[in-house]
Amino acid sequence: MSTTSLLVESLPALAQGAVLTVKFAVLSMFFGLIAGAVLALMGVSHSRTLNRLARVYVSVMRGTPLLVQIFVIYYGLPSFNISLDPTPAGVIALSANVAAYLSESMRGAILGIHQGQWLAAYSLGLSRRQTLRYVIAPQALRIAVPSLSNSLISLIKDTSLVSVITVTELLRSAQEVIASTYQPLPLYLAASAISIICNDLLCGISGLSSCPARIRSQKCAVS
């Protein structure tokens, strides 16, 4: 079989795997953003207990390999009578991992807002919660967009690790075709090309989403 025919015949399987990869990344990013926001708020709170809990969580999740975390959730939780299917186990593992990185990005963005913004809001009678919600968070979000976009792109590549728990994402789809055709090089290259396309599309989307923030900053500089 020629390389062209091989790629044409394997394209539906690779496309199906790519769709699942993107779904995994989007779901994990969604839940990771929620957990990351909670951890970021814990990190900037005045409570030492919450600060320490957030730091311990971030340290553990960033200090251990993602593959180990996937194994612990999929193979370890059944020891506590908690059995998960491969798909939810993969989403939980990826979400828990990316939450640690997102929390640091958001915490850094919040701390990057000038202290005068807090003082100005307090002088208007806003509480700390109101200040964080209406004044600090919108500005911090614009600062954190590039870092959050990079985390999403990295998450696309990290989804390949869930293939070890039999999730048929892009990499495993390629491996299944390789098992029947015995032609690994063109199929791995095709999977890599599809991954690059997905990453480039996400880069373009994130670039468009950050354009309004850049335009506002340029207007402020001109004024």
Give the CATH number of the domain where residue 186 resides.
Answer: 1.10.3720.10
Confidence of residue 73 (pLDDT cuts 50, 70, 90): very high
Give me the pLDDT at residue 33, please: 92
Task: Name the phi and psi angles at 124, rounded to 5.
Answer: -85, 0
The pair of structure tokens assigned to 34 is 């929620």
Q: Are 181 and 3 contacting, i.e. CB atoms less than 8 angstroms apart?
A: no
Give me the pLDDT at residue 34, please: 94
pLDDT tens, position by position, 7-31: 899 999 999 999 998 888 889 989 9
- Calculate what percentage of the chain has a pLDDT beyond 70: 91
CA separation for the pair 115, 131 (Å, rounded): 12
CA separation for the pair 76, 83 (Å, rounded): 9
CA separation for the pair 112, 107 (Å, rounded): 8
CA separation for the pair 156, 18 (Å, rounded): 10
Confidence of residue 75 (pLDDT cuts 50, 70, 90): very high
Its sign, for the CA torsion 36, 152, 25, 185, is: negative
Task: Report whether pLDDT(220) > 70.
Answer: no
Give me the pLDDT at residue 222, please: 36
Task: Report whether pLDDT(144) > 90.
Answer: no
Closest to 29 measured CA to CA, from 88, 78, 89, 99:
99
- Mean per-residue pLDDT of the chain: 87
Confidence of residue 206 (pLDDT cuts 50, 70, 90): low
Give me the pLDDT at residue 1, please: 67
Please tell me the chain's helix, strand, coil percentages from 3-state DSSP, rounded to the nearest 5.
90, 0, 10
Total domains in the fold of the chain: 1
Range of the domain at 14: 3-222
